[in-house]
Amino acid sequence: MSSESPAAARQTPRKGRTTSAILIEFLGSMNLAITLLVALGIGSIIGTVLVQERTWSEHMIDFGPFWFEVFRRLGLYDVYSASWYLAILTFLVISTSVCMYRYTPTVLKEMTRYRDHYQATSLRALSNQREWTMGLVPEQAREATQQTFRNKGFRFRDKSRKNGQVLYAGMKGRSNRLGYIFTHAAIVVICVGGLIDGDLLLKWNEWRGNLQVETRDDIPVSQIDDSRKLPVRPGSFRGTTNIPEGRAANVTFLPLRDGYVVQELPFTILVEDFRIQHYPDGQPRSYESDLRIIDQEYDKEFTQTIRVNEPLTYRGHSIYQASFGDGGSNLDLRIWPLRGGTEGVEQLEAKVFSQAEVNIGGQRYTLSIEDFELANVRPDELMEGGTRHRNVGPTFNYSMRMRDGRVLEFENYMLPIRIDGRDYYLSGVRPSPDQPFRYLHIPAGPDRSLDRFMTFLDNLRQTEPRREAARSAARYVLLELGMVEDQEQARQLSGQMALSAEQMIQQLLQEGFEAVSEGVEARVQAGANDPEQQALLRDFSHMLLERTLTNAYHNAVAEEAGVQSVSDMGGLTEDDRLFYEEALAALSALPGYTSPIFLELTGFEQVQSTGLMIARAPGAGIVYFGSAMLVLGLFLMFYVPHRRLWALVEQDESAGRTRILLAGVGQRDPKAFGKEFERVAQELDLRLRLAESKGGEEVKT
């Protein structure tokens, strides 16, 4: 006999466990599974909240350098393909599989065990139990018990004992145990599907250095190195492709880190036509593409129209209508010089996604035409009725490389936009994509064109008209202030003053009104000490500048009307005066506009492109199957209760009666089972009393 205590005896096998047994116990533990599920849930939430599959430059704009680097190191920009996310999926598959390996045999065994070894003492200890002593023979009691169990849907087995007792062990809802198996198997299946769609092959090639990232956006596919391309493969991916009307493509682009890689397709996609419909206020209502699929490998060719939420699926590839854009429209542009010089208006024919060079003031500037939009819907608080939006017409975007190496981005509107009752041509400029556009407002003339403003500007920036306006202004100011007696004296003294006026105009165009005021104040302080003389000199300079601007504007209005002077047309109207004030505001904003030219869109030939998202997800079907298993398993676990009944029938030979003991147990929702047990007991009681009243006749249903 061993002298060890029971506790020590229980601990002895644990000390002798092998490492593999300990590992299996750890991998199959509930704590590990819950931890992995929580981590997986957190990762999925992050992947839902944080927009995935964007370029690093876009994330840099959104989060800034510090948080961008933090999120990059954590792999949050592509969560579902991140190494840590795939590792969690892998460990969850292993953990759940080990758990099933350990407990599935027990669950299956439990489904077939009727537990017919219970004694009367154990049954009376259950909370749901009832007992009868009836004047029946045991056969009648057994018949009533069997019919009651069958009528209530219980499968049962009977076991006769040596002492004459017969135990009926019934069970209902044993498929509840299958819910455990289905639920755990579903987790494994879903995770396997997720691993398949995690694009492990791409990660493997990237880790081994076999795959490089392309960062250039403006080169054709033919110029991309093979190390940045992926051949046709059975793995999963999700990429985007923009194809102009009438053009074809057999690749898609997968965003990766700070660039992209090219994924080749086993077929060619030809865009035959792209259509877009708009609401009355100009907002897009629907858009669709007519695609022709050309598969040379299988010698197959067909056409299908795709729409939003109506993809085309072929050879495991789903092609979605994702977006639309410009496909290389032809633009007719007018180049208006904004700085000093003799350059006149020039015409330029450009194509979206192409570059052009312009020569301004002896300097060459490179223009990159980046986008064109036919319809632009903007909020309009002034509109009445149900809508609050309006279509303001076409816009185009371009960038310009300046002499100092900076690249400025521009957004120009083709048509004038009404703001506070007045029409303006808008041109936005920004130094980088992470900053908003700052708009230059150029007033539209009476004919809703730029001609009047640009003529006014030409009269200021070109030497001869500027000099003429300055001399006339100097003579006017000299006479107005009484500094000369007649026109001849004014003409003789106006030369130097006109030169000062020209200098102020040039400074105005280059630096703005504030710089001109500072320059005037500096000359006043340097040229006079007496306050009265300073005031006179200051007023003289301001009058000289104002009159020069007025003369230049009058000359522009007269030129527009085809007369010698504004007096020949009866003077300026109120609209002419308002335009002058708006033009001065535009002149003061020109230095901040930075660009030496203004591009006006005068015509276009639109070419549209369709934006396609091409996805291949071989694990999707596996995930759907696993999801169905999960739903079935949860339904069985929560809505199919597992319940047991026992009925012990024995004869009391001393009293000539039969004793029946009914007991039951339900592990889920004991209250509901208690009610069901009462119904079973009532039916059994009815059958027993009916059998007793018939005095031995056969009990019938």
pLDDT at 15: 54
Q: Indicate if the pLDDT at residue 1 is higher than 50.
A: no
pLDDT tens per residue across span 134-186: 888 888 999 999 999 999 999 999 998 888 889 999 999 888 888 989 999 99
Q: List the domain boundaries for the chain.
A: 19-110+179-196, 113-173+641-693, 227-325+609-618, 330-444+602-608, 454-594
Q: Indicate if the pLDDT at residue 386 is higher than 50.
A: no
- For residue 185 the two structure tokens come to 């198997």
Residue 606 CB partners (closer than 8 Å, separation 6+): 326, 329, 372, 374
Mean pLDDT confidence for 652-679: 87
| Confidence at 682, pLDDT banded by 50, 70, 90 | very high
Count CA atoms within 13 Å of residue 57 on its CB side: 10
Give the burial class of 461: count Cβ atoms within 10 A of its Cβ; 0-12 exposed, 13-18 middle, 19 or more buried.
buried
Q: Indicate if the pLDDT at residue 496 is higher than 90.
A: no
312 vs 568, which has greater pLDDT?
312
Distance between first and last Cα of the chain: 59
CB atoms under 10 Å from CB of 635, counted, come to 15
Taking the C-alpha atoms of residue 636 and residue 630, their distance in angstroms, rounded to an integer, is 10
pLDDT at 391: 83
Mutual angle of helices 200-208 and 83-112, in 10-degree steps: 140
DSSP string, 370-429: EEEES--EEE-TT--SS--EEE---EEEEEEE-TTS-EEEEEEESS-EEETTEEEEEEEE
For the chain, percent of residues with pLDDT exceeding 70: 92
- pTM over 0.95, yes/no: no
Tell me if the domain spanning 227-325+609-618 has CATH number 1.10.10: no
| Confidence at 532, pLDDT banded by 50, 70, 90 | confident
Q: What type of residue sits at position 482?
A: G
| Topology of domain 113-173+641-693, CATH | TATA-Binding Protein (3.30.310)
The mean-pLDDT minimum among 77-81, 238-242, 488-492, 657-661 falls in: 488-492
Examine domains 113-173+641-693 and 227-325+609-618 and report if their fold is the same: no
Average pLDDT, the chain: 86
The H or E element that residue 237 is part of is strand 237-244
pLDDT tens per residue across span 220-266: 888 888 888 888 988 888 899 999 999 999 999 988 877 888 999 99
pLDDT at 10: 41
DSSP string, 618-667: TTHHHHHHHHHHHHHHHHHHHHS--EEEEEEEEEETTTTEEEEEEEEEES
Q: Indicate if the pLDDT at residue 647 is higher than 90.
A: yes
The mean-pLDDT minimum among 206-210, 334-338, 434-438, 637-641 falls in: 206-210
Taking the C-alpha atoms of residue 276 and residue 228, their distance in angstroms, rounded to an integer, is 34
